[in-house]
A and B are shown apart, each in its own frame.
Chain A
Amino acid sequence: MPEFRWDPARVGERSAPASVRVTAGAVQAFRQAVSGHGEVGPVNHGDDAPPTFPICFQRLDVPGLELPLEGLIHTDQQLLYPAGRMLRVGEVVQVVGWLESVRQRGPLSIVVVMNQIQAASAASGEAAVLVESRTTVMVTAREASA
Chain B
Amino acid sequence: MSPLVAWTPGDVLPPWQTEITREQVARYADASGDHNPIHLDDQVARQFGLDGVIVHGMLVMGWMADYARSTLGPHDLHVFRVRFRSPVRPHHPLVFQGRIKSVENGRWEVELTVAPAEGPPAVVGTMVLSPPREA
Task: Please pick, from A34, A41, A43, A81, the residue contacting B62 in the complex, using a CB distance under 8 A.
Answer: A34
Residues of A19-55 contacting chain B, CB below 8 A: 26, 29-30, 32-38, 41, 43, 50-52, 55
Inter-chain contact B31/A29, CB cutoff 8 Å: yes
Residues of B within 8 A of A43 (CB): 69-70, 73-74
Inter-chain contact B66/A34, CB cutoff 8 Å: yes
Inter-chain contact B66/A86, CB cutoff 8 Å: no
Bound together, the chains give a CA A70 to CA B27 distance in angstroms of 21
Bits for B6-17, please: 1 = Cβ < 8 Å to A, else 0.
000000000010
* Interface footprint category on B: 35 or more
- Distance (whole angstroms) from the CB of B78 to the closest CB of chain A: 6
The answer to whether A74 has its CB under 8 Å from any CB of chain B is: yes
Inter-chain contact B81/A32, CB cutoff 8 Å: no
With an 8 Å Cβ cutoff, the count of chain A residues facing the other chain is 34
Q: How many A-B residue pairs have CB under 8 A?
A: 102
The answer to whether A56 has its CB under 8 Å from any CB of chain B is: yes
A positions within 8 Å CB-CB of B? 26, 29-30, 32-38, 41, 43, 50-52, 55-56, 69-81, 84-86, 140
A and B contact pairs by CB, cutoff 8 A, 24 listed: A29-B31, A32-B27, A33-B27, A34-B66, A37-B70, A50-B62, A52-B58, A52-B80, A56-B32, A70-B44, A72-B36, A73-B84, A74-B58, A74-B84, A75-B83, A76-B82, A77-B84, A79-B79, A79-B81, A80-B79, A81-B77, A84-B76, A84-B78, A86-B77
16 new A-B contacts, CB < 8 A, other than A50-B65, A70-B44, A74-B57, are: A26-B31, A30-B62, A32-B31, A33-B31, A33-B32, A33-B59, A36-B16, A43-B70, A56-B33, A70-B38, A76-B83, A76-B84, A78-B82, A81-B77, A81-B79, A85-B76
